[in-house]
């Protein structure tokens, strides 16, 4: 019987969601980190749970041609694919999407999913970091051990410079009760806001000088206290000949890849016809709502439950007259009370996907088209199955690699209401 600590020889078969790869030992599934499909490796078993073994690569016996020397520790947050050449990363993500739709959604795809690639240098506009023992950085996978954010290449060099300047006082801010911080910036990095997450009673006045850090335009602290500068960031996103202007608070959710942001918005806009009636659930600061009104002249109802994001949404919609109606309400409550069927329903839920109540309510609205934006392949595959069973066909599916060097990928699916046979095509 396979046991923790045991060394095993494995032939790596295919990728799994979450960053590990699938192999088998004596018929038992082994999920192994640090490997690439097609490789022969020696791995050490870490643990066995519910009949599945988890292992780490300790030696590569026959390397894949797509293996590269990692640019940093692959176990540092955001770097699990650092040992894989980037073109192969994109192929693997397309395979993971196809596997999830076939296995979870019971929807075999007729063709490979196109995944738009991204530069992996400084792509992140928003990141959560940790403060421990005088250091600021990401957690190493499965631990509370801090690793250097700069070496991961996720953040711009000037962002790391600002964090280093704050880190020079990190011993003090740790003593003052700061254990986490969020850094958020706009696409051209002309604005950068840092939010400090504090615990217990904290002398906020002692933290205010951090707002004078070079490169920092705003500083806030828990819950949403402004300590210095402006807590908001501003972007203008080019979509064809149109310009979409948005303001967002440092704590508002926003898509985090500066290089693919405009492409993602443009793709969602392609799913909307001119003058459509649109409902945007989980609207956030209004990325898709405002774009739909500006680019497609749509009439939009934008629904957001978070009060900070809803305030941004209201501000962004105010420049558009009556084109965007803002509803500050949980999605579950809105779909129960709303009765009018939109031409297009956009949903961009959190990683956990739509709750059953939200999805059932969305289906009851009977939109002609549902545009589902997801950062988790398992939840969109799960919800896609429910949409098919409710009489929708999957017409189009595309990936966007918003998270290079990680196993995560953004997916946009277009579902069309049909009658009769429930089939689908890509």
Nearest CA to 284 out of 303, 271, 270 is that of: 303
222 with 272, same domain: the answer is: no
Residue 291 placed within a domain: yes
150 with 251, same domain: the answer is: no
243 with 223, same domain: the answer is: no
Residue 254 placed within a domain: yes
Rounded Cα gap, residues 104 and 362, in angstroms = 21
Residue 112 placed within a domain: no
Identify the pLDDT of residue 423.
Answer: 42
Identify the pLDDT of residue 426.
Answer: 39
Rounded Cα gap, residues 329 and 327, in angstroms = 6
281 with 411, same domain: the answer is: yes
216 with 276, same domain: the answer is: no
What CATH number is associated with residue 325? 3.40.50.150
298 with 409, same domain: the answer is: yes
225 with 366, same domain: the answer is: no
Residue 16 placed within a domain: yes
Rounded Cα gap, residues 14 and 103, in angstroms = 14
Residue 81 placed within a domain: no
Identify the pLDDT of residue 201.
Answer: 77
What CATH number is associated with residue 6? 2.40.50.140
Rounded Cα gap, residues 55 and 197, in angstroms = 34
265 with 295, same domain: the answer is: yes
7 with 146, same domain: the answer is: no
178 with 319, same domain: the answer is: no
Backbone angles phi and psi of 118, in degrees to 5: -140, 150
Annotated catalytic residue within 76, 147, 160, 375: 375
- Tell me whether residue 375 is one of the annotated catalytic residues: yes
Token pair for residue 252?
A: 């508002």
Nearest CA to 264 out of 189, 348, 192, 342 is that of: 348
What CATH number is associated with residue 176? 2.40.50.1070
Cα 163 → chain centroid: 22
Number of domain units in the chain: 3
Rounded Cα gap, residues 12 and 34, in angstroms = 11
Q: Which residues pair with 23 in a beta bridge?
A: 30
Identify the pLDDT of residue 203.
Answer: 82
Rounded Cα gap, residues 416 and 182, in angstroms = 38
Q: What is the mean pLDDT of each run of 10 residues along the chain (426 residues)?
A: 92 95 95 97 94 95 97 94 98 97 95 96 96 88 91 97 87 72 97 91 86 96 92 97 97 96 98 97 98 98 97 97 97 94 96 94 96 97 97 96 97 89 41
257 with 395, same domain: the answer is: yes
Domain boundary among 67, 86, 106: 67
Identify the pLDDT of residue 204.
Answer: 85
Compute the CA torsion angle 293, 298, 303, 304 (nearest 10 deg): -20
Phi-psi category of 10—alpha, beta or left, where left has phi over 0 and alpha has psi -120 to 50? beta
Domain boundary among 206, 229, 252: 229
Identify the pLDDT of residue 171.
Answer: 62
132 with 44, same domain: the answer is: no
Residue 377 placed within a domain: yes
Residue 210 placed within a domain: yes
- Domain extent for 385: 233-417
Cα 403 → chain centroid: 7
Residue 96 placed within a domain: no
């Amino acid at each position: 019987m396979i046991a923790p600590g045991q060394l095993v020889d494995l032939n790596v078969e295919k990728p799994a969601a979450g960053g590990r790869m699938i192999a088998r030992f004596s018929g038992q599934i082994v999920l192994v980190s640090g490997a690439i499909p097609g490789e022969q490796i020696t791995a050490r078993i870490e643990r066995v749970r519910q009949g599945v073994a988890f292992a780490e690569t300790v030696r590569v016996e026959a390397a894949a041609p797509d293996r590269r020397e990692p640019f940093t520790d692959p176990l540092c947050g955001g770097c699990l694919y650092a040992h894989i050449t980037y073109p192969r990363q994109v192929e693997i993500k397309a395979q993971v999407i196809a596997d999830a739709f076939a296995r979870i959604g019971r929807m075999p795809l007729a063709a490979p999913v196109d995944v738009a690639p991204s530069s992996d240098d400084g792509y992140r506009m928003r990141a959560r970091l940790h403060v421990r023992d005088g250091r600021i950085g990401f957690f190493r996978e499965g631990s509370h051990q801090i690793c250097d954010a700069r070496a991961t290449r996720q953040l711009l060099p000037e962002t790391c410079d600002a964090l280093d300047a704050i880190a020079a006082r990190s011993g003090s801010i740790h003593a003052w009760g700061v254990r986490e911080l969020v850094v958020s910036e706009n696409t051209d990095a002309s604005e950068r806001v840092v939010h400090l997450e504090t615990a217990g009673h904290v002398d906020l006045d002692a933290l205010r000088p951090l707002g004078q850090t070079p490169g920092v335009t705003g500083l806030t602290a828990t819950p949403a206290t402004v300590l210095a500068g402006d807590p908001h960031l501003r972007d203008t996103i080019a979509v064809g000949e149109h310009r979409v202007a948005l303001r967002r608070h440092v704590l508002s959710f926003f898509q985090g890849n500066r290089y693919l942001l405009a492409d993602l918005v443009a793709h969602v806009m392609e799913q909307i016809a001119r003058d459509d009636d649109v409902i945007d659930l989980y609207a956030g600061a209004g990325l898709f709502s405002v774009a739909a009104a500006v680019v497609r002249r749509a009439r939009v109802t934008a629904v957001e439950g978070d009060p900070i994001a809803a305030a941004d949404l209201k501000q962004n919609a105010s420049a558009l007259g009556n084109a965007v109606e803002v509803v500050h309400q949980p999605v579950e409550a809105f779909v129960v009370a709303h009765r009018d069927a939109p031409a297009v329903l956009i949903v961009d839920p959190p990683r956990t996907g739509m709750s059953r109540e939200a999805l059932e309510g969305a289906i009851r609205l009977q939109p002609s088209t549902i545009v589902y934006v997801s950062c988790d392949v398992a939840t969109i595959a799960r919800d896609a199955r429910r949409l098919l069973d409710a009489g929708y066909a999957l017409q189009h599916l595309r990936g966007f690699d918003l998270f290079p060097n990680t196993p995560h990928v953004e997916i946009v699916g277009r579902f069309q209401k049909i009658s009769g046979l429930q089939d689908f095509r890509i």
